[in-house]
Amino acid sequence: MSVIREELDKNSALLKIKVTKNDYSKKVENAIEKARKQAKIPGFRPGHVPTSLIRKQYGKSILAEELNRTVNDFLQKFIQENNIQILGNPIPYNKEEVKGDFNNPDIFEFTFEIGLAPEIDLGDTLKKEFEYIKVGVDSELVNKQIDDLRRRYGKLVASEEVTDKDLVMATFTELNGDDKVKENGIVNSSTISMEFVEDEKTKKELLGKKVGDVAIIDPIKVTKGKKDTAALLNVKEDELDTISPNFEMKINEIRHMELADLSQELFDKLFGEGEVTSEETLRERVAGDLDKMFANDSDRLLTRKVYEELMETPVDLPSDFLKRWIQVSNEKPITMEEIEAQFEGYEKGMKWQLIQGHIFKNNDLKLNQTEVLEYAKNLIANQYAQYGIPAPTDEELTKSAVQVLGNKEESARIMDMIAESKLTEYFKSTVKLNDKIVSYDEFIEIASK
């Protein structure tokens, strides 16, 4: 068996493989003999079907199957041994047919097209200076976080009038355009949280209202999105467009969240027995936790900025080959028009994979199975911690992690998380960082861009 490589262009090449009879004849004969022993043909006992009959009925398909297997094995070995960096997999060249006679088999020639992985040159991108945006954790932010913690362990109590963080139980009745009750309209009792009412006019209308008071409101302006609005009115989302924007909201009950006292009991619930023993140490602990939390956000923001810079790197992909490869290898039939419509996103993803692979290879960054397993175990343990539940034993965590990693999508997601974490640490140790302290609101605005 021999192969000739012909360059199509700098991005793709042809591999022409010549297969002689010596390369496949013994395999074909063995396959025919195996088929003869397994064949169930009327008139013949199992294992006693004549070889000539098997050859006549199945010879061509067996030959094609063995040729395909032999050529593919040789092709993969050739690519590996010659360290040819390819994208996707080899595909039959669409401008040349297989050469050879299946009726009188002798020499066959197969032509495959390969897409070549381009050389990656990141230039001076990783020598540039990047802003490392940090949130300035001030007393206002600490106070807000402490209030949120106290609210978590607080209790709801009846209140006389609506304030800006209350839960309001009310009956919502659909009205006509003249603000009269709509016949056969919607009537539903539900609850809104004043904390999530963003429309200032509506909020002003409701603040100070008491049990039994009535207000005319638009349900959309007291909820967060269509799904929430539909739940409030007990209707389907697709029915919202047919519903009046005017509803009578009659207040039935007002519940106010009474914050938990700053006591040792609360401290122990939040951080474990004896970990925090005073308001002063509480503030220090909260400030430290916020610093850690925002540090992760700062890392993500830095990684995003470096990613955006790296994606400006010119990468010459074999686009025409990749489109044909997608069409040939797709599980379901797909048209070239469909591929064209999605190709920009696919090309972007491929470009990032190549850049990331280049960084990993050149800096000896690796993922190993032990690391992946431990990361999965930590994710599971953190989920327990979020609900205040002690983590199970290491053996149980390992069993759960193995089960999670058995899911192909979950395994890929976790490996992507580890890869991003390694890249972040690499970026932080490589690029020049210019620390910039901003307020929480400024940080949110920067992160949302």
The CATH number that applies at residue 39 is: 3.30.70.1050
Check whether residue 427 and residue 290 sit in a common domain: yes
Check whether residue 318 and residue 409 sit in a common domain: yes
Angle at alpha carbon of residue 285, lines to 284 and 288, rounded to 5°: 85
| Mean pLDDT along residues 222-247 | 93
What number of residues does the chain have? 449
**Over the Cα atoms of the chain, what is R_g?**
34
Domain endpoint, select from 258, 291, 312: 258
Q: Give per-residue pLDDT as tens, 268-297.
A: 988 888 999 999 999 999 999 999 999 999
Q: How confident is the model at residue 304 (pLDDT cuts 50, 70, 90)?
A: very high
Phi, psi of 149 (to 5 degrees): -65, -40
Q: Give per-residue pLDDT as tens, 99-140.
A: 999 999 999 999 999 999 999 999 899 999 999 999 999 999
CA atoms in the 13 A half-sphere facing the CB of 295: 9
Check whether residue 302 and residue 374 sit in a common domain: yes
State if pTM tops 0.85: no
| Mean pLDDT along residues 25-33 | 93
Predicted pLDDT of residue 2: 93
Q: How confident is the model at residue 178 (pLDDT cuts 50, 70, 90)?
A: confident
Question: How many Cβ atoms from other residues are within 10 Å of residue 438's Cβ?
Answer: 15
| Mean pLDDT along residues 317-343 | 93
C-alpha closest to that of 110 among 157, 53, 71? 71
Q: What is the CATH number of the domain that holds 409?
A: 1.10.3120
Judge whether 229 lies within some domain: yes
Check whether residue 100 and residue 195 sit in a common domain: no
Q: Does 313 have pLDDT greater than 80?
A: yes
Judge whether 7 lies within some domain: yes
Query: Whole-angstrom Cα distance, residue 249 to residue 112?
Result: 71
Q: Does 241 have pLDDT greater than 70?
A: yes
Judge whether 131 lies within some domain: no
Judge whether 61 lies within some domain: yes
* Residue 198 Cα to chain centre, angstroms: 30
Check whether residue 352 and residue 437 sit in a common domain: yes
Q: How confident is the model at residue 385 (pLDDT cuts 50, 70, 90)?
A: confident
Q: Which helix (H) or strand (E) holds 8?
A: strand 2-9
Query: Whole-angstrom Cα distance, residue 367 to residue 378?
Result: 16
C-alpha closest to that of 86 among 153, 13, 37? 13
Judge whether 237 lies within some domain: yes
Q: Rounded mean pLDDT of the chain? A: 93
Beta bridge partners of 132: 435
Judge whether 270 lies within some domain: no
Query: Whole-angstrom Cα distance, residue 404 to residue 401?
Result: 5
* Residue 213: C-alpha distances to residues 170, 216, 319 (Å): 10, 11, 66
Check whether residue 227 and residue 314 sit in a common domain: no
| Mean pLDDT along residues 322-351 | 93
Check whether residue 111 and residue 239 sit in a common domain: no
Q: Does 388 have pLDDT greater than 70?
A: no
| DSSP string of 201-238, one letter each residue | HHHHHHTT-BTT-EEEE-GGGGSSHHHHHHHHHT--GG
Asked if 251 contacts 214 with a C-beta cutoff of 8 angstroms, the reply is yes
Q: Look up the domain containing 411 and give its range.
A: 278-447
Lookup: tokens for 117: 């992985």
> Which residue type sits at 258?
E
Counting the structural domains of the chain, the total is 3
Check whether residue 65 and residue 106 sit in a common domain: yes
Check whether residue 305 and residue 253 sit in a common domain: no
Q: What is the CATH number of the domain that holds 230?
A: 3.10.50.30
| Cα pseudo-dihedral 223, 225, 228, 233, rounded to 10 | 70
| Mean pLDDT along residues 173-197 | 93
Judge whether 267 lies within some domain: no
State the pairing for strand pair 432-438/129-135: parallel
